[in-house]
Amino acid sequence: MTEGLRRQIVELASVHSGLKNVVEHDAETIVSGTLLFEASADGLETIKESFEIELMIPHDFPETLPRVKETAGRIDTRYEHRNPSGTLCLAVPIEQRRVLLEQPTLLGCVNRLVVPYLYGYCFWKKHGRHPFDEAAHGHEGILRHYMDTFSLRDDLSALAVISFLLEHGYRGHHDCPCGSGLRVKICHGQALLALHQQHTPQTLRGDFIAVFDLCFAKFQNGQISFPQRMRLQLARLLKIVSK
């Protein structure tokens, strides 16, 4: 564990004193305990609750995103915002990165991602609806993020955008991957640049794999076909992400 991460764990415990159990492993440190919070949303009720949670913090945090579990079995199995591994689906990875770029600390992660998630769950459990705009989660949430950000028409267009980012990063003089025929800098330049700056190699590869998996499933079902040029690009990129 780095000295910087150690200081952040101390800062976290000074605010959320129930998160006091710390176990260090080779590649990550686990902080666990009781998270007591009192939170509200615009125009909605204040909720005071506590949950037993476990924060799995990679030692290169915030470059690699932390994982969070609720450990007392209180999250209803019908609640959709959980990953297959049992970790909490706090937000799509790029949104988590945006938050951490603004406040790159464990305390910021807990206050701006974990607490809103638990508030949203408590509200859903009580009222049967989500307090915030409902968003897709998992792979679908990642795909929807790209489609909404770039106003894309279909899944293949989203795959083209994430493939461009993975292979080229930001290149203002290239043709925009949205298919408009315009140069990046006069089309989706600002959106591409923002994503390029927010992503880490890990989150970028994760987004590519998520969108590719969804598109490949549709390809196998005969719902879409990959143009030849995209097939060649995907072959190159799949070699990169498999390393």
pLDDT category of residue 133 using cuts at 50, 70 and 90: low
Residues 145 and 229 in one domain: yes
Mean pLDDT of the chain: 89
Yes or no: say if 182 and 175 are a contact pair by the CB < 8 Å rule.
yes
Residues 112 and 152 in one domain: no
Residues 107 and 161 in one domain: no
Mean pLDDT over 34-50 rounds to 91
Residues 100 and 46 in one domain: yes
Residue 212 domain flag: yes
Total domains in the fold of the chain? 2
Taking 70 as the threshold, does the pLDDT of residue 160 lie above it? yes
Taking 90 as the threshold, does the pLDDT of residue 198 lie above it? no
Enter the tokens of residue 237. 């990129």
Taking 70 as the threshold, does the pLDDT of residue 135 lie above it? no
Residues 152 and 198 in one domain: yes
Domain CATH number, residue 80: 3.10.110.10
Residue 53 domain flag: yes
pLDDT category of residue 137 using cuts at 50, 70 and 90: low
Domain boundaries, position 156? 138-241
Residues 115 and 164 in one domain: no
Enter the tokens of residue 135. 């968003």
Residue 133 domain flag: no
- 58 closest CA partner among 11, 106, 12: 106
Strand blocks (E) in 42-86:
47-58, 67-70
Domain ends where: 127, 147, 164?
Answer: 127
Backbone angles phi, psi at 239, to 5 degrees: -65, -40
Domain ends where: 83, 105, 127?
Answer: 127
Taking 90 as the threshold, does the pLDDT of residue 57 lie above it? yes
Model pLDDT for residues 16-31, shown as the tens digit of each residue = 999 999 999 999 999 9
Helix axes 155-168, 201-220, angle to 10 degrees: 150
Radius of gyration from C-alpha coordinates of the chain: 20
Residues 167 and 86 in one domain: no
Q: What angle do CA 236, 98, 62 make, to 5 degrees?
A: 80
Q: Is the dihedral of CA 57, 61, 113, 148 positive or negative?
A: negative
Taking 90 as the threshold, does the pLDDT of residue 56 lie above it? yes
Domain ends where: 108, 127, 146?
Answer: 127
Model pLDDT for residues 70-115, shown as the tens digit of each residue = 999 999 988 888 887 889 988 877 788 888 888 889 999 999 999 9
Residue 210 domain flag: yes
Residue 223: per-residue pLDDT:
93
Residues 142 and 117 in one domain: no
Residue 157 domain flag: yes
Residues 147 and 211 in one domain: yes
